[in-house]
Amino acid sequence: MEDLTQDEWASQLADDNNAVVLDVRTDEEVADGIIANAIHIDIYRGQEFISEIEDLDKNKNYYVYCRSGNRSGQACSIMEELGFENTYNLEGGILEWAGDLVDLD
């Protein structure tokens, strides 16, 4: 796992053709908006979270975020334990995100 600042995360993501954006917030948090093209898997789902993560392609690069950066850091650690090699945690989470957000509905 690598912790990236907002600028590093956005810049690296823009240049990464093998990127997947992963939002690990709750449904209630996601209702306020999500980064475009992000996959939403709530880390608080416990074993269901693990099962959904295990179904992801381990050869992709995962840009993970939550509200403040704590849960996404935990998610990156879990993903590494499951064999994911390239996970990037968004420092400061969505609270400090200056980019656009989209509604899911």
Catalytic residues: 66
* Structure tokens belonging to residue 102: 């989209």
CB 72 within 8 A of CB 89: yes
Residue 62 corresponds to which amino acid? Y
